[in-house]
Structure 1
């Protein structure tokens, strides 16, 4: 009786990787299709173009200061938050500008700053800059 000799090639077990790769690709397609993309809510930021930086046209901007207690100062005098629109419209009537600079203290409540921004937009000023003064 002859015995069959086992060679090294016969002892190695081979695994077919094709079904596993198929499953991985199917799972990848499933996750891509079922993923939902959500648009984040936030403030829109308008950055200036490079062409605007080269123009040396001086423009007088409306200056508004807000201290840490929420006191609003426009033109060197204290203004109530409900009178910001009227004061901004008066400034616009005297000066040809479309920009405003709001300088707020670092400890100012954000709600006050946002409310002042809204009041200035209602007055008709489209470009608003917010500066934060470090304490």
Structure 2
């Protein structure tokens, strides 16, 4: 008795749905990711040996250029409007962190002026931004 040969089937795997899902996931993650916006001010921060990292949530950044120009959240502010602008950005919350970014060549009087304004507003959480000595050029 002779057995019949079964016809050979050609099996293929259709990966089109898999590719669709991967692209959908890629688009989802690209849209839902939040990116840190780098400051447009080019400041050469002073160096420090301490290693404390500052979290970036709920903080106001006050920058001082070498010429003494104040910036709050990267927007130029006059000396007279500095207090009002910081108050608006912090919404009157004395517990909000304020990061003071002053160029290494900035005169000390401008840093003291900014600290006086922050003290007058009752801001207790003030950090001074520096660059780790190992990271500095």
Question: TM-score, normalised to structure 1's length?
Answer: 0.50
Give the deviation of 1:106 after TM superposition.
0.5
Tell me the equivalent position of 1:7: none
Unaligned runs of 5+ in 2: 1-52
Runs of 4+ in 1 over 3 A off after TM superposition: 94-97, 132-135
Tell me the equivalent position of 1:100: 98
Choose which of 64, 70, 75 in structure 1 pairs with 2:73: 75
Q: Deviations over 1:52-86 (max 9, x none)?
A: x9xxx974111011111111111221101221111
Rg comparison, structure with higher value: 1
Distance in 2, matches of 1:102 and 1:78, equals: 14
With CA pairs under 8 Å and 6+ residues apart, which has the higher RCO, 1 or 2? 2
Tell me the equivalent position of 1:38: none
Unaligned runs of 5+ in 1: 1-52
Give the deviation of 1:104 after TM superposition.
0.4
How many residues align? The count is 80
Q: Is the helix fraction higher in 1 or 2?
A: 1
Question: TM-score, normalised to structure 2's length?
Answer: 0.50
Distance in 2, matches of 1:96 and 1:116, equals: 15
